[in-house]
Structure 1
Amino acid sequence: MYIVLFSMVTCLSTCYCLIDDGKNEKHCGPLKQWFESTSVSVEIGKKGFHREVVTTVELSPDVVAEVNVLLIYRWPRGVYLDPYQLAAESDQRDWQILLNSDIDLEVPAHKTSGFVTYVYPTLDGPSPRLLKVTIPIHGRYSEPSFIGKTFTSVNIEPPELLLRTEKCMQLNNLDPHNVMDAPCTADNSSTCSWVKIQCQQEHAPVSFQFPVGDRTLVMPVCGGTLLVTVICCVALSKYMWKHHI
């Protein structure tokens, strides 16, 4: 009797696993196909110390609304994002952002480090799904150069693209794509498993330049400023003495 009961439990467990695997394959199968037709491109807008990083994500036309998208940016120390600006413009954009640390707006580039942001675009619009994220960035002041260098280069790496769907549970079978943990939403209230998309072509970082000071000009500038100040003081004193002011 125990043998019969054990056989029945084993059979039911096997059937349940097969059904569960079948459901998982049903929901994860399309997800694998979406990976192959997804691309990310980055370009830089505006000039000077105030720029824009424009990221375009092209998803498969078959992507459904249940898919969540996450872009992870790893910013270099030469730039920063203004949290106050991001908060003020939150109602004017269709994406949310989460900063991994506090940002000091006044620290120069050589006294700070890079940081990470998590950007959550909203899937809304006709197919094919084109997501465009425009992030305002600002250049930090760099340490003056001793060798007459007038510009410094900043490299912006393309963001990591992560996808997630509530119905696909067994993500470990989605080779060659990696599974990693990241905040589920911009509220950072919980952590979810995401699939990091492995792009077929590695995109090169986008580079641009910020001006830097020339420390070799410190003495000439200071000397000239002091000389002009002394001349102006002498001329003003003579004028006041002459007119008895």
Structure 2
Amino acid sequence: MAGGPRRRGLALLCAGLTALLCGLHVQAACQDATVTQELLKEGFHRDLLVRVELGAVGEDAEGCTVAARTHLPPGIYVDPYELASLQQHNLTKVVLIPDVIDVEAPEYLATELLVLLHMEPDSRCSHCFRAAVPVHGRYHRPAAESEEAVVVLKSPEVLVCCCDNSVSAECWKPAEVEAPCSGKTIGPCQWYSKTHKPAYEESILQVPVGLRQHSSLVCVTTLLATVLCSSLILAAVCKYGHFCLVTCSE
């Protein structure tokens, strides 16, 4: 009689261990993805380069559109006019939300920007993708001490869009994306997101800023330069300009 409960206990233990091992296997396979982002160049005008290595889960994304969704803080923006020129030459494909951006607004008057960056296969490895987009730093308020303002870019989110719904339910979860699936014409398509392992949690952009104690000097210098240049232009017009009176009659 005692053998029955013992056998049932062993059976439950084996089933639990099997489920645990399967869960660990699925988790290990699904986490085999790495995202890196890098800011190229120096100063206010940079290039944001994003690389995605899907690894084992890349088999689910074959034939699908791969994209990176990132939130740009108010201190950095994408120029829609520059972006339109690049897209016209098929150099990049980016969706901006919102699509109307005030490129002249300073950092303290700007808002966050959502960027959906469509990625292309990277020839250096299988199941690797990459994309780049030009970004620009905004002007910040003058600082009290530091001559640089810090803008933090968090790691982007990996997305795929498959019209045949071939992605694995264990690794990819449905995502709400306000953008169509690139290159797909067969009905509506579902976007999926992937919880990945970022190589770096965030990237940092350092933007040069002025110092508050220099405000008076900058204002005086700007005023003097404006008066001097205006005087020189007026003097040149008076000396070399040709003036005549034109009488108009009906």
TM range (shorter): 0.5 to 0.7
2:213 partner letter: T
Match for 1:85 among 79, 82, 89? 82
Residue equivalent to 2:231: none
Match for 2:128 among 127, 130, 140? 130
Deviation of 1:58 after TM superposition, in Å, equals 1.7
Deviation of 1:131 after TM superposition, in Å, equals 1.7
1:37-57: CA deviation from partner (whole Å, max 9, x where unpaired):
332111110001101111111
Map 1:54-203; keep pairs closer than 5 Å: 54-60=49-55, 63=59, 65-93=62-90, 95-101=92-98, 102-123=100-121, 128-145=126-143, 147-168=144-165, 174-175=169-170, 177-182=172-177, 183-185=179-181, 192-200=189-197, 203=200
Contact 2:53/2:129, CA 8 A, preserved across alignment: yes
Contact 1:156/1:205, CA 8 A, preserved across alignment: yes
Match for 2:44 among 10, 26, 49? 49
| Matched position secondary structure for 2:55 | coil
CA distance in 2, matches of 1:219, 1:208: 28
Q: What's the % identity of the aligned pairs?
A: 25
Contact 1:57/1:132, CA 8 A, preserved across alignment: yes
1:43-78: CA deviation from partner (whole Å, max 9, x where unpaired):
110001101111111233763642221211100000
1:7-32: CA deviation from partner (whole Å, max 9, x where unpaired):
xxxxxxxxxxxxxxxxxxxxxxxx99
Residue equivalent to 2:216: 219
**Closer/same/farther in 2, CA of residues 43 and 142 from structure 1, 3 Å limit:** same
More deviation, 55-64/79-88: 55-64
Deviation of 1:178 after TM superposition, in Å, equals 3.3
Deviation of 1:156 after TM superposition, in Å, equals 1.2
CA distance in 1, matches of 2:212, 2:75: 19
1:49 partner letter: F
Contact 2:155/2:198, CA 8 A, preserved across alignment: no
| Matched position secondary structure for 1:84 | helix
Deviation of 1:92 after TM superposition, in Å, equals 4.5
1:158-191: CA deviation from partner (whole Å, max 9, x where unpaired):
211012322227x7x824653212123369x996
- What RMSD, in angstroms, separates the aligned Cα atoms of the two structures? 3.5
1:116 partner letter: L
Contact 2:31/2:195, CA 8 A, preserved across alignment: no
**Closer/same/farther in 2, CA of residues 92 and 225 from structure 1, 3 Å limit:** closer
1:135 partner letter: V
**Closer/same/farther in 2, CA of residues 89 and 223 from structure 1, 3 Å limit:** closer
* Number of equivalenced pairs: 198
Deviation of 1:217 after TM superposition, in Å, equals 1.5
| Matched position secondary structure for 1:168 | coil
**Closer/same/farther in 2, CA of residues 227 and 162 from structure 1, 3 Å limit:** closer
1:129-160: CA deviation from partner (whole Å, max 9, x where unpaired):
33221111011111122x23311001111211
Q: Which runs of 5+ in 1 are unaligned?
A: 1-30, 231-245
| Matched position secondary structure for 1:144 | coil
Contact 1:72/1:116, CA 8 A, preserved across alignment: yes
2:63 partner letter: E
Residue equivalent to 1:238: none
**Closer/same/farther in 2, CA of residues 223 and 69 from structure 1, 3 Å limit:** closer
